[in-house]
Chains A and B, each alone.
Chain A
Amino acid sequence: MRSRLALRTVALGYLALLLILPIGLIFFRTFEDGLGPVWDALTNPDTIHALWLTILITLIAVPANTVFGVAAALMLVRQRFPGRSVLNAVIDLPFALSPIVVGLALILVYGRTGWLGGWLNANGIQVIFALPGMVLATIFVSLPFVVREVVPVLREIGTEQDEAAWTLGASPFATFRRVTLPAIRWGITYGVVLTTARALGEFGAVSVVSGKLAGRTETLTLRVENEFQRFDLVGAYTASVVLAILALVVVLAMNLFRRETDGDRGAARQQAVR
């Protein structure tokens, strides 16, 4: 009994020192001098622009990765083709890759001296140091999440119901919309939450391709760094607190939807047992 208490104390102490105290302190430091400076930092046009840019990038990257994620998951689970295991490994690569390498990779394709640099330049299209590059970087780093959440659900539901619908004459699209999609909806939702978190918070890859121009290519995470480098601590803390609140919302959503996906998988498992 005593050893159990000791283990609990060590585990909670570790979490307090590493997670809870630092995050608590940043909230305290932000509001230390009252609401005035925080309000000024929040309503600074550059902060507002950074927030909108972050949201805009997320609104492009998340739907793109959701459509891709569902298509790729269907392909990985239900089709046999050469190179399937390679594809499987490549999808996970963004998990394990340094965001700086991601940024560099995009520069080497779309940058001034990149593969497509000359062509883009001749046509007046700017990708690097502009929105398209930042969107591409965000899509890259948040690519695996929907796939990884949908694949296990698809494995567990099997293909029986799809086959039944198909035998009864439903078109592939109708089968997908009426049978497959409802079965994987919580898996997709959970994947979308994870993708959104990653997209809102990406820093390294976006930093390499953005050029970090305040009011133009500065996202909220980049603003945290820039304000810190300019010794505007209130500005850096305020942007951080906005991002931390978004992170807390994401964690809440993860909790909510994890229960739902567990329910889905539990039901599928029960069906399999029967």
Chain B
Amino acid sequence: MPQKAAPGGLPLGRSFATAYLGLIVLIPLAAVAWRSTEGGAGGFWRAISSPAAVSSLKLTFVCSLVVVAINAVTGTLIAWVLVRDSFRGKAIVNSLIDLPFALPTIVAGLTLLALYGPKGPIGINVAYTRAAIILALLFVTLPFVVRSVQPVLLELDREMEEAAASLGASSLSIFRRIVLPNLMPAILSGVALAFARSIGEFGSVILISGNIPFQTEVASVHIFSQIESDDVTGAAAVSVLLLVISFVSLLAIDTFRKWGSKHEE
């Protein structure tokens, strides 16, 4: 049968999709790259190496790393409990995992501030500290590792575990030697997603972090304040850096997913 026979979709579908993607995504992003070089390579370098930019980028990077490390553990744990454990109300807990995705980020920030802010009822106040940034990022990235690990755990063949158990392996060494290696690609791709999300996060952070320059100002807030003070070229330069990090994270996710599907075979 000739290659053309398979119906590829609607006529014009391809040109429509390409034009749409170009107009909405590619041309605006090209404008960012273009603007960032307006002051030449020197201007670009000055913008991303200004003390405020460096401090916000460093803060964002460190907080994101802490957050994904915590997520790798808690996300795997929650997925494990949701798949292997059974208790009343499990279905409800399972659906609550999606709530941080569905809840607007600004609302997430406000809710965390209500509980862990200056007027919180339990006497813990993390507002305007770096711990607050980590808390906000943990909230918004909660679903990523859980939802990435859950299906893999669900389809994992339990025969190997049973064999190991019958040979006297402890449950900890079964987890470490058998389960964990199988989950690794899924954990890492969830981690990469959470990292990309954390690096660019804005809405959940602004109310609770206080946005104090050199202390709790994350990269997105830094770009935002540059736009407000009309330093669009500087904002574009830092944006290009974030854009590159996003793209690298996506490539990493793709690699982990391919590795994961090889694991399955």
Binary flags per residue of B1-40, CB closer than 8 Å to A gives 1, else 0: 1000111111101101110110011111101101100000
Closest to A236 in B: B110
User: How far is it, in angstroms, between the C-alpha of A15 and the C-alpha of B139 when the chains are bound?
Assistant: 9
Contact of A101 among B80, B135, B242, B249 (CB under 8 A): B242
Contacts of A71 in B (CB 8 A): 9-10, 13-14, 16-17, 20
Inter-subunit contact A162/B6 (CB<8 Å): yes
A7 to B250, CA, bound (A): 31
Does the CB pair B250–A96 fall under 8 Å?
Answer: yes
| Contacting residues, chain B, for A224 (C-beta < 8 A) | 104, 106-107, 110
Q: Does B202 contact A22, Cβ atoms closer than 8 Å?
A: no
Q: Are B100 and A114 interface neighbours, CB within 8 A?
A: no
* Closest B residue by C-beta to A246: B102
Q: Which of A181-235 contact B (CB under 8 A)?
A: 194, 197, 200-204, 207-208, 220-221, 224-225, 228
Residues of B within 8 A of A21 (CB): 115
Known: A19-B100, A21-B115. A101 touches B32 (CB 8 A): yes
Contact of B202 among A11, A98, A220 (CB under 8 A): A98
Contact indicator per residue, chain A 81-123, by CB within 8 Å of chain B (1) or not (0): 1000001011111111111111111111100011100000000
CA distance A50 to B56 in the complex (A): 32
Q: Is the CB of A15 within 8 A of B93?
A: yes
- The size bracket of the interface on B is 35 or more
In the bound complex, CA of A221 to CA of B250 (Å): 28
| Cα A255 to Cα B93 with chains together (Å) | 12
User: Closest approach, in angstroms, between the C-beta of A259 and any C-beta of chain B?
Assistant: 11
Chain B contacts of A19 at CB under 8 A? 96, 99-100, 139, 142
Per-residue CB contact flags for chain B residues 221-257 toward chain A (1 = under 8 Å, else 0) read 1011001000010011001001100110111001000
**B7 lies within 8 A of A176 (CB):** yes
Contact A22:B28 (CB < 8 A) given known A75-B8, A89-B250, A208-B224: no
Chain A: which residue is nearest B32 at the CB level?
A105
Shortest C-beta distance, A219 to chain B (Å), equals: 10
Min Cβ gap A105→B in Å is: 3
Shortest distance between the CB of B61 and any CB in chain A (Å): 13
A270 adjacent to chain B (CB < 8 Å):
no
Most buried by B among A139, A172, A204: A204
List A contacts of B72 (CB < 8 A). Answer: none
Check B78–A15 contact: CB distance below 8 A. yes
Does B203 sit within 8 A of A, measured CB to CB?
yes
User: Does B77 sit within 8 A of A, measured CB to CB?
Assistant: yes
Interface residues of A in 17-61 (CB under 8 A from B): 18-23, 25-26, 29
Please indicate the chain A residues that have their CB under 8 angstroms from the CB of B114 in the complex. 22, 25-26, 29, 237
User: Complex Cα distance A173/B14, Å?
Assistant: 14
Structural contact, A22 and B111, CB atoms closer than 8 A: yes
Residue B161, interface by CB 8 Å: no
> Chain A: which residue is nearest B108 at the CB level?
A22
A99 to chain B minimum Cβ distance, whole angstroms, is 6
Contact A93 B246 (CB under 8 A): yes
- Interchain CB contact (< 8 A) of A163 among B6, B9, B29, B223: B6
Known contacts A90-B21, A201-B104; decide if A97 and B7 are in contact (CB<8 Å): no
In the complex, are the beta carbons of A106 and B28 less than 8 A apart? yes
Nearest CB of A to B232, in Å: 7
In the complex, A211 Cα to B17 Cα: how many Å? 30
Does A74 belong to the interface (CB within 8 Å)? yes
Residue in chain B with minimal CB distance to A108 = B31
Q: In the complex, are the beta carbons of A23 and B99 less than 8 A apart?
A: yes
- CB neighbours (8 Å) of B20 from chain A are 68, 71-72
Chain B residues contacting A95 (CB-CB under 8 Å) are: 193, 196, 250
Please give, as numbers and ranges, the residues of chain B lying within 8 Å of A108 by CB-CB distance.
28, 31-32, 34-35, 232, 236
Tell me whether A243 is interfacial, beta carbon within 8 Å: yes
Closest CB in chain A relative to B240 CB, distance in Å: 9
What residues of B have a CB within 8 angstroms of the CB of A159 in the complex?
Answer: 6-7
Check A72 against B17 for contact (C-beta < 8 Å): yes
* B132 interfacial contact with A, CB 8 Å: no
The 5 closest A-B pairs by CB, nearest first: A98-B200, A74-B9, A201-B104, A105-B28, A96-B196
Interface residues of A (CB under 8 A from B): 3-4, 7-8, 10-12, 14-15, 18-23, 25-26, 29, 67-68, 71-72, 74-75, 78-79, 81, 87, 89-109, 113-115, 136, 139-140, 143, 159, 162-163, 166, 172-173, 175-176, 180, 194, 197, 200-204, 207-208, 220-221, 224-225, 228, 236-237, 240, 243-244, 246-248, 250-252, 254-255
23 A-B pairs (CB sep. < 8 Å): A3-B171, A4-B85, A11-B82, A15-B96, A18-B139, A22-B115, A23-B111, A26-B114, A68-B16, A68-B17, A87-B18, A87-B21, A100-B200, A100-B221, A101-B200, A105-B28, A105-B29, A105-B31, A108-B31, A115-B27, A143-B25, A203-B106, A251-B99
